[in-house]
Amino acid sequence: MTLRLVTAGESHGPRLTAILEGIPAGLRIDSAFVDRDLARRQHGYGRGGRMKIEKDRATLEGGIRGGVTLGSPIAIGIENRDFANWSKVMHPLENDPIASAERRVTRPRPGHADLAGGMKFGAGDLRDVLERASARESAARVAGGAVCKLLLAECGIEVASGVLSVGPVIDPESPRSFAALQKVREDSPLRAMDASLEKEMIAAIDEAKRAGDTLGGSILVGARGVPPGLGSYTSWDRKLDARIGAALFSIPAVKAVELGSSIEASRGPGSLAHDEIERGRRGNLRRRSNRAGGLEAGVTNGEDVIAVAYMKPLSTLARGLDSVDLATGEAARAAYERSDVTAVAACGVIAEAMLAFVLADALLESIGGDRLDDVKSRLTAHRERIRKYSRV
Ligand SMILES: Cc1cc2nc3c(=O)[nH]c(=O)nc-3n(C[C@H](O)[C@H](O)[C@H](O)COP(=O)(O)O)c2cc1C
């Protein structure tokens, strides 16, 4: 792996940190761009009260001088404003025993990390688990992913996302293309791919909220301008489809990932599953469709990279699912703490960050270069070689 992204920090701790290692020197970092993606992650109908408290902003703390990367690890901090309300419980060094006892969590939520994480670390207070398992951590990933997007943009690669479905509300005919993603309205309540469905989606969220329930959904994430030849079929762990899949699966609550239109393709014959090759008017090779989502055998083929991530309904239900109180051994309702009804729109922004990370990693691996100008000139040569190869 050429790029590494490590995050640290608890949901109600003082701050989150992202360290991104492997970005070449000479990349201009626009902190407003990073902040814009952080704000996009906070947006979306169905989010809980936490998002009203936090106004995420990136503090650039290492690896950048005068707005330009140095080639050293990039450190980004994001303050947790809510820490002011939790300092007696979440201070890294000293906590108030009475306040900590009041906030102790002993009724694990089915579907969350609580019980599995408690068993793993032997936590007497499940807060030790849920504070890190919380999707608040994804803000740090979004900050790191925004830097990857800036690198990709220098290389002519764009990344975007949109909401395909919320709960049962979906347009099964919704086109799976980058062009469709470009029509998504950033200022709309859910960043839906089909704006005409937003009313119905909002009604479904309101209904779930009234019932003390939650909803999941799905998002489309894609990239345009990706050069052919990234990733490899030569070894299983170099396959880019697998790496994109793992990155999207790592997003909290994402339980299925699809490349292109592979679920539909799996239900039909091979004659309707693949992207036939033809010769364009100028002798260039091209595809008639992009059902594979821009990847064949783990290698990019020059088409848009397209993936769908499916998010389960969130596991903190206001009405609580059946659980057991670990302190008493008695049956109890699972713990409830301020929570989202759905976070599908935010999931799209996190998916952009994860896809940007994997593509930037694969680009640096195939093209290489310690400085941005080296990366760009090598990429130009790579694209030229592919252009010549594809002219028959
Ligand atoms: C942006 C975002 C916000 C989330 N907000 C919540 C939430 O408010 N309540 C909740 O129970 N789960 C929420 N989740 C999901 C949990 O973090 C996740 O289900 C949990 O960490 C267990 O991991 P798993 O579902 O991947 O197995 C959110 C996920 C994302 C991506």
Nearest CA to ligand 1 atom 4: 135
Under a CB-based contact definition with an 8 Å cutoff, are residues 341 and 329 in contact? Answer: no
Question: In CATH, what number is assigned to the domain containing residue 167?
Answer: 3.60.150.10
**CA–CA separation, 233 and 296 (whole Å):** 9
What's the burial of 384, exposed, middle or buried (CB within 10 Å: 0-12/13-18/19+)? exposed
**pLDDT on residue 1:** 66
Question: How far from 299 is each of 213, 229, 236, 240, 391, CA to CA, in Å?
Answer: 41, 6, 12, 6, 19
Gap from CA of 107 to ligand 1 centroid (Å): 17
Could you tell me which residues are beta bridge partners of residue 284? 391
Cβ of 253 below 6 Å from ligand 1: yes
**pLDDT on residue 48:** 84
**CA–CA separation, 187 and 38 (whole Å):** 14
**pLDDT on residue 53:** 81
Residue partners of 180: CB distance under 8 A and separation at least 6: 162, 174, 193, 220
**pLDDT on residue 347:** 98
Range of the domain at 23: 4-389
Cβ of 252 below 6 Å from ligand 1: yes
**CA–CA separation, 238 and 360 (whole Å):** 14
Query: pTM to 2 decimals?
Result: 0.97
**Backbone dihedral angles phi then psi of residue 293, each to the nearest 5 degrees:** 70, 30
Nearest CA to ligand 1 atom 27: 253
For the chain, the domain total comes to 1
Q: What is the pLDDT along the chain (392 residues), one digit of tens a residue?
A: 699 999 999 999 999 999 999 999 999 999 999 999 999 999 999 998 777 787 999 999 999 999 999 999 999 999 999 999 999 999 999 999 999 999 999 999 999 999 999 999 999 999 999 999 999 999 999 999 999 999 999 999 999 999 999 999 998 889 999 999 999 999 999 999 999 999 999 999 999 999 999 999 999 999 999 999 999 999 999 999 999 999 999 999 999 999 999 999 999 999 999 999 999 988 899 999 999 999 999 999 999 999 999 999 999 999 999 999 999 999 999 999 888 999 999 999 999 999 999 999 999 999 999 999 999 999 999 999 999 999 88
Q: Hey, which of 340, 350, 352, 354 would you mutate to test ligand 1's pocket, going by the most ligand atoms within 8 Å of its Cβ?
A: 340
Q: Which atom of ligand 1 is nearest to the CA of 316?
A: 11
Gap from CA of 339 to ligand 1 centroid (Å): 9
Residue partners of 187: CB distance under 8 A and separation at least 6: none
Gap from CA of 76 to ligand 1 centroid (Å): 23
Q: Which atom of ligand 1 is nearest to the CA of 48?
A: 8
